[in-house]
């Protein structure tokens, strides 16, 4: 029997703790004076010494069946006076644990920000930036603050000793929420952020140009170095900020002492901001901009999404069709009704441009939530979503898949943009969930509207639309009259035979880039391999050094003169002497983004080039800096991995080049053709979007408005059927082909997949264990189990890998086989021979 609440000395609670416990734990409320609700945090002991802040998942009047009373401990303390997790979030998390075959504790560990799940061993310290005003007035809080000031960081268990209580969590969590103390891990992450200096010509000189000229003349005679720095700062305009390092570089000056002297003279002003958060960041508008005017096609799409019955809507719009404008109108409707809106994007990089557009309309409602924020910032967003006033006036939350865990209580709309993207799938650690599918469950449970948007929706989503599970709304024309780009395929094998290649550029791509750059247009080049070259290989015997820990070739990074493994992080120097034949003939083979950047400097020396890949976007704001600089036309060419293919909107891109399409067409996966089509179409969609700029700023205002973009796909297999579909824009044909193949061979959407991965450092033991498990599963599920197989990479970080694949017909309810499968896996792992094998279960793998 579930209860809404239980008062002192009554009842039992099911508690989740943020560790992988096979089953939820049951505790009694004996001696607890406070009321308890599901979604509140409690302090509980696990084992002999461990103390955790756990989450109450359910409250019972009587001890649940099957739980021995002797094993039930009392709750140590109740942390909260109201739930910190909403009922809808609890429902979603419980579903995720069951569907993705993981523990509730693993879901909780992924869902809660650090500030809400302190453990007994967590060290807390004084916050370096405490709030204004007096600290909390209760004795325990004051005593703790005094102790931290005198003794420095303390564990939560040490705090209990200081306060002479076995339940210090409530005091600690109250001070964390109020901003007086902070976890030490959070302190390190938040407060060592790099800061940048910015300078500008003092705004007062805007009204005295003659006076500024006299000052510069005097400096040119007496202090020419200062004059050069002043002129470099003036290039941005009076009162306009520039990074100090960039100003010094333009002036060919090293050191900032000269800037200090100009500041003392009142000619320059200097300021400091966290890296990436300088004055170039968009300011929050003071007034809400009017909603964008929709075209007739967008209006029809908006009505189709807004008036759909309570089931998901697939908004299938070509690249550049203006899906975001439709989203904005749907968001406005939900916020005006006082509802919350969840807007999911596949990657953090996509929030950069999107936030700027949404801020103009919804600045007072907008919150951003993703893993590059500090734990403190994520915790603050969590509290903000829970806040009563936020719920009353609505809230718009934008983020990648982790934003799905927030405690929404009045959810009115869920948008999943680029719903086809593989980044919505969490691969490691558990829960290995698909955010798009989990969002569907959340929307269905809360009664919220659900919109899935994409120019190239996944085959499974299109199938659901064909079956009538989803509604489908089409946007088949580009916004603002822009035309779809012209797509051409260049044969690299033929051009090599003709000796017409320059580096890795065909004549077709070079000519298109020359024409675009001459016309003042920008270029995007896509190569889905970072580093300088993917292989370091001997030209004599063909030997390629492999990673010492993984069965993969090492990637060459020329700037560091090193070979890197992108799987385990191992690094070594790039030696040119071959260990196999002894000749000094080891060198780079293949193409990475770093090498593309080098070749561009040779073939297009006047072009300004930026690179966007995992190596150049490690810092928190690196994505946004590159995207904003390219949008401002500070660069002519943008080279990147798949980051450049997704959802970015640049008005002046005239040419997109795909440098090597072969690898994505030959990858050993049943989704490879679908992914290749999606990636090629998405990156092609970055070209020729200038109709949007012209429409927004007036006819003819955008450079090159009305010009058709051009896409050059370089490949050695130009006759491949997927490329012909890409050129023709025939996604329906690709889906039809894929559905036929998958139906014949038992793949989604007709079957559900479960992948079981086994890892161990001892290959012989791994193979024996995998064979034993495969035999057990075949006895249970017959031909539905295949393997064990060696994956494409058979060893990573000194662990050998074997994979089993289970296929279940869609007509079979998942609950029927998942509980049986879990029992089999637990029995297998209970065997002393196999308990040290690492076993992971991935439901609906990608």
Contact 354, 719 (CB under 8 A): no
Contact 46, 52 (CB under 8 A): yes
Q: Which two tokens stand for residue 316?
A: 């299938």
Contact 185, 114 (CB under 8 A): yes
Of the candidates 119, 109, 846, the residue with the CA atom closest to the CA atom of residue 430: 109
Q: How far apart are CA 9 and CA 445, in angstroms?
A: 33
The reported pLDDT for the residue numbered 757 is 95
What is 549-591 written as a DSSP string?
Answer: SSSSBPEEEGGGTEEE-TTT--EEE---S-TTT--S-EEEES-
Q: Is 287 a domain residue?
A: no
Mark whether 422 and 309 lie in a shared domain: yes
Q: Is 285 a domain residue?
A: no
Q: Which two tokens stand for residue 142?
A: 């004051």
Mark whether 390 and 307 lie in a shared domain: yes
- Cα 334–chain centre separation: 25
CATH code at position 782: 3.30.70.600
Q: Is the model's pLDDT at 233 over the cut of 70?
A: yes
HEC states along 405-460?
A: HCCCCCEEEEEEECCCCHHHECCCCCCCCEHHHHHHHHHHHHCCEEEEEECCCCHH
Q: Is the model's pLDDT at 744 over the cut of 50?
A: yes
* φ, ψ for residue 486, nearest 5 deg: -85, 125
Mean pLDDT of 218-222: 85
Q: Which residues contact 612 (CB under 8 A, 6 or more apart)?
A: 349, 623, 626, 627, 638, 639, 640, 641, 643, 644
Number of domains in the chain: 7
The reported pLDDT for the residue numbered 132 is 63
| Residue 760: domain span | 751-843
pLDDT band at 692 (very low <50, low <70, confident <90, very high): very low
- DSSP state for residue 33 in the 8-state scheme: -
pLDDT band at 632 (very low <50, low <70, confident <90, very high): confident
Q: What are 631-635's contacts with CB under 8 Å, separation 24+?
A: 631/353, 633/522, 634/608, 635/522, 635/608, 635/609, 635/610
Q: Is the model's pLDDT at 135 over the cut of 90?
A: no
Q: Is the model's pLDDT at 660 over the cut of 60?
A: yes
Question: Which has the minimum average pLDDT: 140-149, 652-661, 723-732, 748-757?
Answer: 140-149
Query: Of 116, 139, 167, which one is at a domain's C-terminal end?
Result: 116
HEC states along 267-286?
A: CEEEEEEECCCCCCCCCCCC
| Buried residues in 749-765 as b, exposed as e (16+ CB within 10 A) | bbbbbbbbbbbbeeeee
Query: Of 92, 116, 140, which one is at a domain's C-terminal end?
Result: 116
pLDDT band at 19 (very low <50, low <70, confident <90, very high): confident
- Helices 721-728 and 731-745 pack at an angle, to 10 degrees, of 140
Mark whether 402 and 334 lie in a shared domain: yes
Mark whether 167 and 209 lie in a shared domain: no
Cα separation values, 232 from 228, 244, 599, Å? 6, 10, 30
Mark whether 203 and 266 lie in a shared domain: yes
- Helices 139-151 and 156-163 pack at an angle, to 10 degrees, of 120
Q: Is the model's pLDDT at 805 over the cut of 90?
A: yes
Q: Is 288 a domain residue?
A: no
Would you tell me how many other CB atoms lie within 10 Å of the CB of residue 549?
Answer: 16
Q: How far apart are CA 181 and CA 158, in angstroms?
A: 15
Would you tell me how many other CB atoms lie within 10 Å of the CB of residue 195?
Answer: 10
Share the mean pLDDT of the chain. 84
Cα separation values, 185 from 77, 111, 154, 375, Å? 24, 18, 13, 9
Mark whether 574 and 595 lie in a shared domain: no
| Buried residues in 136-175 as b, exposed as e (16+ CB within 10 A) | eeeebbeebbebbeeeebbbbebbbebbeeebbbbbbbbb
Question: Which has the minimum average pLDDT: 262-271, 401-410, 770-779?
Answer: 262-271
Q: Is 541 a domain residue?
A: yes
Of the candidates 511, 530, 509, the residue with the CA atom closest to the CA atom of residue 519: 511
pLDDT band at 243 (very low <50, low <70, confident <90, very high): confident
Question: Which has the minimum average pLDDT: 354-368, 478-492, 748-762?
Answer: 478-492
CATH code at position 666: 3.40.50.300
Q: How far apart are CA 93 and CA 95, in angstroms?
A: 5
The reported pLDDT for the residue numbered 283 is 43
Q: Is the model's pLDDT at 701 over the cut of 60?
A: no
- Cα 581–chain centre separation: 44
Beta-carbon-side half-sphere exposure of residue 381 (alpha carbons within 13 Å): 25
Mark whether 660 and 518 lie in a shared domain: yes
- Cα 22–chain centre separation: 29
Contact 44, 76 (CB under 8 A): yes
Mark whether 372 and 466 lie in a shared domain: yes
Would you tell me how many other CB atoms lie within 10 Å of the CB of residue 260?
Answer: 12
The reported pLDDT for the residue numbered 119 is 60
Mean pLDDT of 685-701: 49
Phi-psi region of 679 (alpha: psi -120 to 50; beta: other; left: phi over 0): alpha
More confident residue, 196 or 541: 541
Mark whether 495 and 620 lie in a shared domain: yes
Q: Which helix (H) or strand (E) holds 686?
A: none
Beta-carbon-side half-sphere exposure of residue 759 (alpha carbons within 13 Å): 14
Cα separation values, 350 from 229, 415, 513, 624, 628, Å? 36, 14, 26, 9, 12
Q: Is 94 a domain residue?
A: yes
Q: Residue 81: is it exposed, middle or buried by C-beta count within 10 angstroms (0-12/13-18/19+)?
A: exposed
Mean pLDDT of 216-223: 84
Q: Is 5 a domain residue?
A: no
The reported pLDDT for the residue numbered 686 is 76
pLDDT band at 392 (very low <50, low <70, confident <90, very high): low
The reported pLDDT for the residue numbered 342 is 95
Question: Which has the minimum average pLDDT: 91-100, 129-138, 801-810?
Answer: 129-138
Rg (CA), the chain: 30
Q: Is 743 a domain residue?
A: no
Q: Residue 523: is it exposed, middle or buried by C-beta count within 10 angstroms (0-12/13-18/19+)?
A: buried
Q: Is the model's pLDDT at 281 over the cut of 60?
A: no
Mark whether 673 and 597 lie in a shared domain: yes
The reported pLDDT for the residue numbered 212 is 84
Mark whether 790 and 834 lie in a shared domain: yes
Query: Of 477, 497, 523, which one is at a domain's C-terminal end?
Result: 477
Q: Which residues contact 173 (CB under 8 A, 6 or more apart)?
A: 41, 53, 79, 80, 116, 118
- Helices 622-631 and 351-362 pack at an angle, to 10 degrees, of 80
Mean pLDDT of 365-381: 80
Question: Which has the minimum average pLDDT: 21-30, 220-229, 349-358, 442-451?
Answer: 349-358
pLDDT band at 509 (very low <50, low <70, confident <90, very high): very high
The reported pLDDT for the residue numbered 149 is 81
Question: Which has the minimum average pLDDT: 277-286, 368-377, 666-675?
Answer: 277-286
Would you tell me how many other CB atoms lie within 10 Å of the CB of residue 326?
Answer: 30
The reported pLDDT for the residue numbered 1 is 38
Mark whether 200 and 92 lie in a shared domain: no
Q: How far apart are CA 514 and CA 510, in angstroms?
A: 6
More confident residue, 107 or 617: 107
What is the per-residue pLDDT across 175-197, written as a single tens digit (0 to 9) for each? 877 778 876 655 444 434 445 78
Q: Is 450 a domain residue?
A: yes
Q: How far apart are CA 707 and CA 519, in angstroms?
A: 11
Cα separation values, 103 from 22, 25, 455, 628, 708, Å? 6, 12, 36, 41, 52
């Amino acid at each position: 029997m579930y209860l809404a609440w239980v008062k002192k000395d009554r009842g039992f609670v099911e508690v989740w703790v943020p560790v992988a416990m096979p089953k939820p734990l049951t505790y009694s409320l004996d001696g607890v004076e406070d009321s308890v609700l599901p979604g509140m945090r409690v302090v509980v002991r696990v084992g002999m010494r461990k103390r955790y802040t756990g989450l109450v998942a359910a409250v019972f009047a009587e001890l649940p069946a099957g739980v021995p009373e002797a094993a039930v401990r009392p709750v140590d303390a109740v942390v909260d006076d109201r739930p910190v997790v909403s009922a809808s979030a609890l429902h979603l998390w419980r579903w995720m644990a069951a569907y993705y075959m993981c523990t509730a504790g693993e879901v909780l560990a992924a869902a809660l920000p650090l500030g809400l799940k302190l453990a007994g061993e967590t060290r807390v310290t004084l916050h370096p930036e405490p709030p204004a005003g007096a600290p909390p007035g209760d004795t325990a809080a004051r005593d703790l603050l005094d102790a931290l000031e005198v003794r420095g960081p303390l564990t939560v268990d040490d705090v209990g000793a200081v306060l002479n209580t076995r339940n210090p969590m409530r005091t600690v969590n109250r001070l964390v929420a109020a901003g007086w103390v902070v976890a030490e891990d959070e302190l390190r992450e938040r407060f060592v952020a790099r800061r940048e200096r910015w300078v500008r010509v003092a705004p007062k000189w805007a009204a005295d140009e003659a006076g500024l000229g006299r000052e510069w003349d005097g400096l040119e005679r007496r202090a020419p170095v200062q004059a050069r720095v002043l002129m470099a700062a003036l290039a941005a305009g009076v009162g306009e900020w520039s990074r100090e390092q960039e100003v010094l570089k333009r002036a060919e000056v090293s050191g900032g002492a000269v800037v200090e002297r100009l500041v003392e003279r009142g000619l320059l002003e200097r300021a400091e901001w966290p890296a990436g958060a300088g004055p170039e960041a968009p300011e929050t508008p003071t007034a809400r901009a009017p909603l964008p005017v929709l075209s007739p096609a967008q209006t029809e799409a908006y009505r189709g999404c807004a008036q759909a019955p309570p089931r998901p809507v697939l908004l299938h719009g070509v690249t550049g069709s203006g899906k975001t404008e439709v989203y904005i109108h749907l968001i406005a409707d939900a916020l005006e009704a006082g509802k919350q809106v969840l807007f999911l994007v596949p990657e953090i990089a996509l929030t950069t441009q999107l936030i700027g557009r949404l801020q103009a309309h919804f600045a007072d409602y907008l919150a951003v939530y993703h893993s590059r924020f500090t734990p403190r910032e994520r915790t603050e967003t969590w509290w903000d979503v829970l806040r009563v006033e936020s719920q009353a006036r609505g809230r718009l939350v934008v983020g990648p898949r982790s934003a799905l865990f927030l405690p929404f209580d009045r959810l009115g709309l869920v948008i999943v943009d680029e719903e086809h993207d593989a980044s919505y799938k969490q691969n490691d650690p558990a829960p290995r969930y698909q955010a798009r599918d989990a969002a569907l469950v959340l929307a269905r449970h809360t009664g919220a509207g659900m919109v899935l948007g994409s120019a190239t929706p996944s085959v499974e989503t299109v199938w659901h639309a064909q079956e009538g599970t989803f509604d489908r709304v089409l946007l088949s024309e580009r916004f603002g009259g822009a035309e779809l780009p012209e797509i051409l395929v260049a044969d690299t094998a033929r051009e090599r035979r003709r000796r017409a290649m320059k580096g890795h550029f065909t004549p077709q791509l070079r000519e298109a880039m020359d024409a675009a750059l001459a016309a003042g247009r920008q270029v995007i080049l896509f190569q889905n391999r970072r580093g300088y070259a993917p292989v370091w290989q001997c030209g004599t015997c063909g030997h390629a050094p492999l990673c010492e820990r993984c069965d993969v070739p090492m990637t060459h990074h020329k700037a560091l003169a090193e070979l890197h493994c992108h799987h385990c992080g191992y690094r070594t120097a790039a030696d040119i002497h071959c260990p196999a034949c002894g000749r000094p003939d080891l060198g780079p083979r293949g193409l990475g983004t770093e090498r593309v950047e080098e070749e561009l400097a040779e073939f297009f020396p006047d072009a300004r080039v930026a690179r966007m890949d995992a190596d150049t976007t490690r810092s928190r704001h690196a994505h946004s800096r590159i995207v904003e600089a390219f949008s401002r036309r500070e660069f002519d060419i943008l080279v990147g991995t798949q980051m450049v293919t997704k959802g970015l909107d640049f008005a002046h891109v005239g040419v997109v080049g795909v440098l090597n399409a072969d690898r994505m067409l030959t990858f050993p996966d049943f989704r490879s053709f679908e992914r290749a089509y999606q990636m090629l179409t998405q990156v092609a969609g970055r070209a020729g979007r200038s109709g949007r700029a012209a429409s927004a700023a007036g006819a003819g205002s955008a450079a090159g408005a009305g010009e058709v973009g051009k896409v050059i796909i370089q490949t050695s297999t130009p006759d491949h059927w997927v490329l012909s579909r890409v050129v023709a824009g025939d996604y329906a044909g690709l889906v039809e082909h894929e559905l036929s193949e998958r139906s014949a061979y038992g793949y989604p959407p007709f079957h559900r997949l479960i992948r079981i991965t086994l890892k161990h450092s001892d290959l012989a033991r791994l193979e024996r264990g995998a064979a034993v498990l495969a035999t057990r599963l075949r006895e249970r599920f017959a031909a539905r189990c295949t393997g064990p197989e060696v994956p494409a990479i058979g060893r990573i970080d000194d662990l050998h890998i074997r994979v089993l694949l289970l296929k279940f017909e869609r007509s079979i309810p998942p609950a029927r086989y998942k509980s049986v499968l879990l029992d089999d896996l637990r029995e297998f792992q209970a065997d002393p021979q196999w308990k040290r094998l690492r076993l992971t279960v991935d439901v609906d793998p990608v």
